[in-house]
Chain A
Amino acid sequence: MDNIAGTKSSLTWAVHIATLALVLLWIFPTVGLFVSSFRTVDQINSSGWWASLSAAEQNEVLRAADPDENRVADGDMFVVSGNLFEDGSEKVISVWGTSSRAIDAYVAGETADMGEGESMTVAANGDYEWRGTDEQISGRGQRIFVTAEAPPEFTLANYEQVLLSGDRTDSMAKAFFNTLTVTIPATIIPIVVAAFAAYALAWMDFPGRALLIAMVVGLLVVPLQLALIPLLRLHLGIGIGKGYLGVWLAHTGFGLPLAIYLLRNYMVGLPRDIIENARVDGATEFQIFTKIILPLSFPALASFAIFQFLWTWNDLLVAKVFLIDATGETTVMTNQIVELLGTRGGNWEILATAAFVSIAVPLVVFFAMQKYLVRGMLAGSVK
């Protein structure tokens, strides 16, 4: 449109740059979590995730090898030599010291005079030579404080800890399956119930239809906070208690208004001719519904299925009220993460990984079925 006058507006560039800025701003937080979940504890604690591709500076306390076993006589002196780091390390020492009060006393390659002829040399790659008399080179290995540049390092260890370790506080494996167990029935049951109701509201004539539709629209916005206490009392009263059945029923009830609303609006738009022809040909209402309406309504069904899946997967409140009992056996991922925030609030490697495990599935669903989600949103925002 900017090209109407025949010149390319300079505004186009501004648009590109502004869009890029907005996109970067929006993706930046998620990338931070993603990157952090692959970093080691040391790296997370020594630098921000945005610096993960550049070398990070770490302070470490290391020890020379045990003198009694490793010392080698050199004239009347004894020498212990070796490398401070484990094999294959690419760390580079910048400064080091032999006392905790002066950890940056010497630069790499320098020789420290430790008094009475005892000396220590540490090279940038971690090679050291500790030289002294029989008495000095004995007991425990000399402590060495180094400040080293660690090259970027990524690890899958966090995912192992979170998914496979079976650790009681960290493990997300059980919560993952619990979440699945909540989600799948809680997505399918409302669809089945709502599809029939939507068909009745869209294509069958009976007194009170308009009133029912208005009721559904009204219930669409009733906050589920209102339902918590009465329904918990009801569940406890009739013996369902806290458990999967309760949470399935609750999700079904809370999801129904949107399901009916979306499906009815879609079904009303289907061509009348098809349905009337089928009726003339002697099809029963049940056949019309299962053979004609359901297949034609697939886009609307898919839209709602994604909504309900995302909503039940990401839900915390309903699970906390209707599912999770004192034993915590049925915890879901969102709840597990909130508990991790309490118990391991500073352990970002665990937190980031756990959070990413929980958001990975919705993200996959989102990117795979974005089209239906958008379509559902456009139909579902109450006009």
Chain B
Amino acid sequence: MSPALQGLITILIGVGGCLGYFYFSNQLLDKVIFPARGPKAGQNINRANMVRPWLFLFPAIFALGLYLAYPVVETLRLSLTDRSQDGAFVGFANYQQMFSETKFWEAMRNNMLWLVVVPAASTAFGLLAAQLTDRIKWGAVAKSIIFMPMAISFVGASVIFRLIYVARPADQAQIGVLNAVWLQFEGGTGSFLVLKLLPAVMMLGFAGIVAYVAYILLKPFLGQGSSYSTFGTVLRLAGAAGAAYLVVTSLWQIVQLFSAQLPYGEPQQWLTIPFYNNFFLMVVLIWIQTGFAMVILSAALRGIPEETVEAAIVDGANPFEVFFQIKVPQIMGTIVVVWTTITLVVLKIFDIVFAMTNGQWETQVLANYMFDKLFRANDWGVGSASAIIIMLLVSPILIWNVYNARKEMR
């Protein structure tokens, strides 16, 4: 049978089955089990109405339970067993094995790098794009174009960017944009300005922003000690420590940048340069996610009351002050939402790494590491253990979301 026909039949059966289930189960309930007639009509109607929600919910609960809730438990169990020993319980042996692999720590380090860079860059670009396009005539068109990569698959985007990064021998014409641009630099003043000074200034700016965030996090402890919950204190201190680490790292990178001898005039295989190739992969996701950030933030910017902005202008604020001191604080909640949503995407990132480097040249990430263990090494124990690590990384966001949803419903 041709797949198209098979597909059509399945659509009919699947969708028909679903609709049939809902229709006939309701009929059964109303006409046969609790008929709304006879001496107990009233009681029957009440009973039917007590059962009905569960009829409506049953398929969804069943699918959610089987496809999402059960796997969480089952994966946890599998991570504690060994497949080659017929699923015998082995305690934390899989985790120990995983923690002893350098590839795992490489994946962890890269995931953390992704976790910092991609949400930050996507949100920043998204905010910039939202602000820029908000008040110009052709803004809608511009938005459409920046938003467009959202529709492109990670695999398609990987092909697009591999075409950008492709390198050819020095004596042939370069067909990758990045190498074509790279070969324009010969090590003169222009190269110094663009390749050393400009990145250094950007890094300094980044370090400055991170330091400012750390300052905000630590502010409550510096002043007259207003009391905070222990949980909040720990979070703040951890955040500040992470920020301090980032500041030191980026300052060190600046030093390295100025002392580095750049290989001018040679086409580069960008995806094989350790450490930096991670950033070339991240660019793909940033390119895709910026549109998402822009759309959400643009709606938030429109929701800002005009009066606050007008009042600031009347008081003599310049456009930058208006943006950073009036608008951004008012949409901080939305920025956090965008940030966490992109964080969720980043934690699960698989396709881009799989299609572009498959984790070679030190670009491994957790999801690809897991896929590797699962289907190439056939080691379900360690594969499950790495899945649990991903789950652990996601769970703070999960708890936060559930907490907020419950608060909203009350």
Task: Answer whether A and B are interacting partners.
Answer: yes
Q: A-side interface residues toward B, CB under 8 Å?
A: 1-2, 4-5, 9, 11-12, 15-16, 18-19, 22-23, 26-30, 32-33, 36, 44-50, 177-178, 180-181, 184-185, 188-189, 192-194, 196-197, 199-201, 204-206, 209-210, 212-231, 233-234, 244-245, 248-250, 252-254, 256-257, 260, 284-286, 289, 310, 313-317, 320-321, 330, 334, 337-338, 341, 348, 351-352, 354-355, 358-359, 362-363, 365-367, 370, 373-374, 377-378, 381-383
Chain A residues with CB below 8 A from B273, complex form: none
A228: chain B residues within 8 A (beta carbon): 71, 370, 374, 387
Q: Is B3 an interface residue (CB 8 A)?
A: yes
Cβ of B64 and Cβ of A216 under 8 Å apart? Answer: yes
Q: Is the CB of B319 within 8 A of A2?
A: yes
Q: Which residues of B contact A216 (CB under 8 A)?
A: 64
Q: Are A253 and B64 in touch, CB under 8 angstroms?
A: yes
Q: Which of B7, B10, B390, B404 contacts A226 (CB 8 A)?
A: B390
The A interface is mostly helix, strand or loop, or mixed, namely helix
Chain A residue nearest in CB terms to B175: A48
A201 near B57: Cβ-Cβ < 8 Å: yes
Residues of B1-46 at the interface with A, using a CB-CB cut-off of 8 Å, are 3-4, 6-7, 10-11, 14-15, 18-19, 22-23, 26, 30
Instruction: Give, as a whole number of angstroms, the nearest-CB distance from A124 to chain B.
Output: 22
**Residue of chain A at shortest CB distance from B151:** A366
Q: With the chains together, A12 CA to B147 CA distance in Å?
A: 23
Are A193 and B60 in contact (CB-based, < 8 A)?
yes
B350 within 8 A of A: yes
9 contacts between A and B (CB under 8 A): A23-B142, A197-B61, A223-B390, A226-B71, A285-B52, A321-B375, A338-B354, A351-B162, A365-B151
Chain A residues near B69 (CB, 8 Å)? 215, 219
What residues on A are CB-neighbors of B203 within 8 Å?
A: none
A339 to chain B, nearest CB (A): 10
Q: Please tell me if the beta carbons of A313 and B71 are within 8 angstroms of each other in the complex.
A: no
Binds A, one of B91-99, B186-194, B337-345: B337-345
> Is chain B's interface secondary structure helix, strand, loop, or mixed overall?
helix
Q: Are A30 and B60 in contact (CB under 8 A)?
A: no
- Which residues of chain B from 132 to 178 have any CB-CB distance to chain A below 8 Å in the complex? 132-133, 135-136, 139, 142, 144-164, 166, 172-177
A189 to B18, Cβ gap below 8 A?
Answer: yes
A214 and B78 form a contact (CB under 8 A): no
A9: which B residues are within 8 A, CB to CB? 319
Q: Is B268 an interface residue (CB 8 A)?
A: no
A257 to B300, CA, bound (A): 25
Q: Is B80's beta carbon under 8 Å from chain A? A: no
Residues on A with beta carbons closer than 8 Å to the beta carbon of B57: 196-197, 200-201, 212
Does B377 sit within 8 A of A, measured CB to CB?
A: no
Interface-facing stretch out of B213-221, B223-231, B239-247, B393-401? B393-401
Given known A-B contacts A355-B156, A363-B148, A229 and B374 have beta carbons under 8 A apart? yes
B window 280-297: CB within 8 A of A: 287, 290, 292, 295-296
Asked if A227 and B68 make an inter-chain contact with CB atoms under 8 angstroms apart, the answer reads: yes
B75 contact set on A, CB distance < 8 A: 226-227, 229-230
A258 CA / B382 CA spacing, docked (Å): 29
Q: Contact check, B391 vs A196: say whether CB atoms are below 8 A apart.
A: no
Question: When A48-B175, A192-B19, A377-B295 are in contact, do A32 and B163 touch as well, CB less than 8 Å?
Answer: yes
Give the distance to chain A from B45, nearest Cβ to Cβ, in Å: 10
Give chain B nearest CB distance to A79 CB in angstroms: 37
A191 to chain B, nearest CB (A): 9
Q: Is the CB of B337 within 8 A of A383?
A: yes
Q: Given A19-B142, A193-B63, are A221 and B161 neighbors across the interface (CB < 8 Å)?
A: no
Indicate the member of A196, A257, A320, A365 with the most B CB atoms within 10 Å: A196
Q: Complex: how many Å from CA A321 to CA B71?
A: 15
